[in-house]
Amino acid sequence: MVSFKRFGPGVVSALTILSLGAQGAQAQKIKAGMPEDLLPRSAPTPAPVRTSAPTPLPTTRPSTGPAPVTGTTPAGVPVISAPMVQDVVVTEPVMPWTVSDAQALLKTIEYIGKEGLLPGDYQPSALKAAIAGGEGDALDALASRVFAWLIEDLRDGRTPMTARVQWFAVDPDQDAMPTATIMAQALSDHDIAGVIDKLAPTNPDYAALKTELNATPMANKPRRALIQANMDRWRWLARDLGSVYLMTNVPEFQLRLVVKNKAGEYKAIRTYKTVVGKPGRTATPQLAETVSAVVFNPTWTVPQSIVKGEGLGAKVLANPRWAAANHYKGYKAENGMITVVQQPGPTNALGLMKIDMPNPHAIYLHDTPSKQYFNSEVRAFSHGCIRTERAVELGMTMAILGAQMPAAEAAELSRAGEYKKVPMTRTFPVYLTYFTFARSIDGELKPFADIYERDTPVLASFKAGRELKTTQRASEEAIIQLDNPL
């Protein structure tokens, strides 16, 4: 883990730490470890500051078919079916090509294996024959088509959407960098090879995987295939994840707070153990969302699968003394529906902190009273949400960075014991990813167990021929509202 002292303005005096108490000391330690340009400034109060991080696009698209159908699983978990959308095959632009530009494209294709892609996908033999035929319509059509495919795969990933299980992280790159614009610029500059650098993910973990792929012998096909699949997963995300963001790699059971410093280097300045969803219906989906607020001492509205399905609602209403002892409040509507809300406190199912990141899956990051699960090596016990170690510390960090809140105030809110929602004034992306070969929090490249068996379709897609891209932007699987932190 990176030392906070490398970033900080200095050490807090012992007198200040003692005067603030345990939470205050922790808040001051957090503040001392943050890059100075991210911290709250002294009076006058600054206007809300936003990072350059892209705001992820919505994870659903307008439906061109019947309205979504809702329902529940046998266990009472709410399910929303994906909209019925007619996905259209993407049409490639056709532009005029010189022989020299086409030759540069052919050379780029021949070496594209270094990026974890397959040269054969881009018809090198046909392109070579078209070049031999000279400039004209045939060369323009073929070169434009295969270059568009190459741009799409480098920018968006080669894996078809149908093979990206539970992938709901919509990549905005094709909106920011349209294929026609990239192609026109490359042809205008006569710099076909330069496109690769412009489209490659900026995260250093991608570069590390690329280095590892090119150092792995061709004979070690399983290892190369796994690296190749995980390089592609980086392309499924935005090229630039932002200057400050949260990222959890589900198979690693770790959460990172990542900051890009003034030198352009990415540093994980804090890491936290996580507990993720159990395999099956409660597996954690992959998302790219935005933190909207931090909630200190949250309440928890118990899902109906427990209120009704397990009889909690009737028990709470029938036994007020037991309900009060367990911090539950029950409400019965005129239609007979019972709502149960667990009140703030250390025994609350959400613990003492929750990070709101609005999404249709009802997924969020939160604390937990069940700290013992953080001691397990394999931590897949939740109903989909991300339980986070040292969550109060994380919440204070979000309040300081995301709401420009003074450290002492963040500490006071965390220990007040009362519900308090702190809206963010800074755009703060959070990524729930799934990498089975990646750099660990110690910086070591290593494989991680495929706990949800999501590698198989990705690996299979690389063995099959390249599929034409469609307008589909995310998985069309049913959205399961995983709002049960137990």
**Measured between alpha carbons, how far is 402 from 397 in angstroms, rounded to an integer?**
8
- Section 35-45 average pLDDT: 52
In this structure, how many other beta carbons lie within 10 angstroms of the beta carbon of residue 485? 27
pLDDT at 77 over 70: no
pLDDT at 34 over 80: no
Q: Are 454 and 165 in contact (CB under 8 A)?
A: yes
Give percent of the chain above pLDDT 70.
Answer: 81
- Section 226-238 average pLDDT: 98
Pair (8, 137) in one structural domain: no
**Measured between alpha carbons, how far is 302 from 175 in angstroms, rounded to an integer?**
39
In this structure, how many other beta carbons lie within 10 angstroms of the beta carbon of residue 419? 12
Q: What is the pLDDT of residues 449-465, one digit of tens each?
A: 999 999 999 999 999 99
Spatial CA neighbour of 240 closest among 199, 194, 201, 197: 201
Give me the pLDDT at residue 73, please.
47
Q: Are 422 and 401 in contact (CB under 8 A)?
A: no
Q: Are strands 293-296 and 420-423 parallel, antiparallel or unpaired?
A: antiparallel
Pair (185, 259) in one structural domain: no
Q: Judge whether 306 lies within some domain.
A: no
DSSP states along 387-401: EETTHHHHHHHHHHH
Pair (23, 158) in one structural domain: no
Q: Are 34 and 8 in contact (CB under 8 A)?
A: yes
CATH code (residue 355): 2.40.440.10
Q: Which of 51-60, 69-78, 124-133, 346-355 is predicted with the least confidence, judged by mean pLDDT?
A: 51-60
Q: Judge whether 465 lies within some domain.
A: yes
Q: Judge whether 409 lies within some domain.
A: yes
Spatial CA neighbour of 449 closest among 438, 458, 460: 438
Q: Are 402 and 244 in contact (CB under 8 A)?
A: no
**Measured between alpha carbons, how far is 138 from 28 in angstroms, rounded to an integer?**
66
pTM (2 decimals)?
A: 0.84
Give me the pLDDT at residue 91, please.
86
Pair (121, 214) in one structural domain: yes
How many folded domains does the chain comprise?
2
Q: Which residue has the tokens 């009737």?
A: 314
Pair (165, 36) in one structural domain: no
Spatial CA neighbour of 445 closest among 273, 248, 265, 231: 231
Q: At 23, is the pLDDT very low, low, confident or very high (cuts 50, 70, 90)?
A: low
Exposed/middle/buried for 108, CB within 10 Å: 0-12, 13-18, 19+? Answer: buried
Q: What is the pLDDT of residues 84-105, one digit of tens each?
A: 455 788 888 999 999 999 999 9
> Tokens in use for 393?
């510390």
For residue 418, the enclosing domain spans: 4-54+244-299+344-433
Give me the pLDDT at residue 349, please.
92
Spatial CA neighbour of 389 closest among 405, 366, 412: 366
Query: Of how many residues is the chain composed?
Result: 486
**Measured between alpha carbons, how far is 159 from 443 in angstroms, rounded to an integer?**
26
Q: Are 30 and 17 in contact (CB under 8 A)?
A: no
Give me the pLDDT at residue 67, please.
39
Pair (289, 385) in one structural domain: yes
Pair (23, 153) in one structural domain: no
Pair (216, 270) in one structural domain: no
Mean pLDDT over each residue of the chain, to the nearest integer: 85
The DSSP output letter for 373 is G
Q: Judge whether 328 lies within some domain.
A: no
Pair (98, 28) in one structural domain: no
Integer-rounded Cα Rg, in Å, for the chain is 25
Q: What is the pLDDT of residues 356-378, one digit of tens each?
A: 999 999 999 999 999 999 999 99
Give me the pLDDT at residue 16, please.
34
pLDDT at 44 over 80: no
- Identify the three-state secondary structure at position 126: helix
Q: Are 67 and 80 in contact (CB under 8 A)?
A: no
What's the CA angle centered on 81, arms 249 and 278, to 5 degrees?
35
Q: Which residue has the tokens 């992959």?
A: 286
Q: At 36, is the pLDDT very low, low, confident or very high (cuts 50, 70, 90)?
A: low
**Measured between alpha carbons, how far is 325 from 347 in angstroms, rounded to an integer?**
11
Q: At 1, is the pLDDT very low, low, confident or very high (cuts 50, 70, 90)?
A: very low
- Residue type (1 letter), 136: G
Pair (79, 93) in one structural domain: yes
**Measured between alpha carbons, how far is 42 from 91 in angstroms, rounded to an integer?**
53
Maximum alpha-carbon separation in the chain = 88
Q: Which of 43-47, 105-109, 199-203 is predicted with the least confidence, judged by mean pLDDT?
A: 43-47
Q: Judge whether 326 lies within some domain.
A: no
Q: Judge whether 192 lies within some domain.
A: yes
Exposed/middle/buried for 45, CB within 10 Å: 0-12, 13-18, 19+? Answer: exposed
